[in-house]
Amino acid sequence: MPSITIKLNGKAVSGEVEGRTLLVEFIRDHRGLTGTHVGCDTSQCGACVVHVNGKAVKSCTTLAAACDGAEVTTVEGLAKGTELHPMQAAFKEHHGLQCGFCTPGMIMAAIDIVKRNGKNVSEEVIRRELSGNICRCTGYHNIVKAVQAGAQNM
């Protein structure tokens, strides 16, 4: 089994993985970070979105072995101590979550959207770029508002 080393939320971690081990399995099962969720297994729902080398990636369709040497950030790695990331704070302030299951993936995707499109990202762009993240609770209304507000504070 290949051994991999990943900088996970700023800390180097190593582990042996099978060739077929998915990044989300490495994060959840090997490292016990259960904030990253699996809502489908076909790369559609986005509950598993993490950042690999700063870019949003669906960890349910990424092989762990392919991330050897990469920097991976999960939702657990966003806050600085008790200080929330502006996007996390915006989701709370704007009621951008209900059951919370899609939320980690939404927040990770939202940060990536803002990084690529800037602080003043339009509602239209946010809606289009969230196509790969499904929420069944909120109707997206407050998620869109949260992303716009979070963008202003990033």
Partner 1 sequence: MSQSATGVGASVRRKEDLRFITGKGQYTDDINLKDQAYAYFLRSPHAHAKIKSINTAKAAKMPGVAGIFTGQDIADSKLGGLICGWMIHSKDGSAMKAGPHPVLAQGKVRYVGDHVAVIIADTKEQAKAAAAAVQVSYEDLPHVVDASKAMKSKAQIHDVAPDNRVFNWGLGNEESTAAAFKNAAHVTTLNIVNNRLIPNAMEPRAAIGAYDSGTEGYTLYTTSQNPHVARLVISAFHGLAPEHKLRVIAPDVGGGFGSKIFIYAEEVVCVWASKHVGRPVKWTAERTESFLSDAHGRDHHTKAELAVDANGKITGLRVHTIASMGAYLSTFASCVPTYLYATLLSGQYNIPNVYAEVDAVYTNTSPVDAYRGAGRPEATYVVERLVETAARELKLDPAEFRRKNFVTQFPHQTPVIMTYDAGDYGAALDKALQINDYKNFAARKAESAKHGKLRGIGFSAYIEACGIAPSAAVGSLGAGVGLWESAEVRVNPVGSVEILTGSHSHGQGHETTFAQLVSEKLGVDINNVSIVHGDTDKVQFGMGTYGSRSGAVGMHALSKALDRVEAKAKKVAAHCMEASENDIEFKNGTFTVKGTDKKMAFGEVALQAYIAHKPGFEPGLKESAFHDPANFVFPAGVHICEVEVDPETGHTEVAAYTCVDDFGNLINPMIVEGQVQGGIAQGIGQALLEGCSYDDDSGQLLTGSYMDYAMPRARNMPAVENFKLGFTCTPCPTNPMGMKGCGEAGAIGSPPAVINAITNAIGVREIAMPATPLTVWQAMQASGAKKAAE
Burial group, residue 62, by CB count within 10 angstroms (0-12, 13-18, 19+): buried
Considering only residues 97, 111, 114, 151, which one is a binding residue for partner 1 as defined by CB under 8 A? Answer: 97
Q: Roughly what angle, to the nearest 10 degrees, separates helices 86-93 and 141-153?
A: 140
Q: Is 91 in the site for partner 1 (CB under 8 A)?
A: yes
Separation CA 14–CA 2 (nearest Å): 11
If one asks whether residue 33 binds partner 1 (CB under 8 A), the answer comes out as: yes
54 binds partner 1 (CB under 8 A): no
Please give the residues from 108 up to 147 whose contact with partner 1 meets the rule CB under 8 A: 123, 126-128, 130-131, 133-145
Question: Which helix (DSSP H) or strand (DSSP E) does residue 8 occupy?
Answer: strand 3-8
Question: According to the binding rule CB under 8 A, does residue 75 interact with partner 1?
Answer: yes
- Using rule CB under 8 A, residue 104 touches partner 1: yes
- 149 belongs to the binding site for partner 1 (CB under 8 A): no
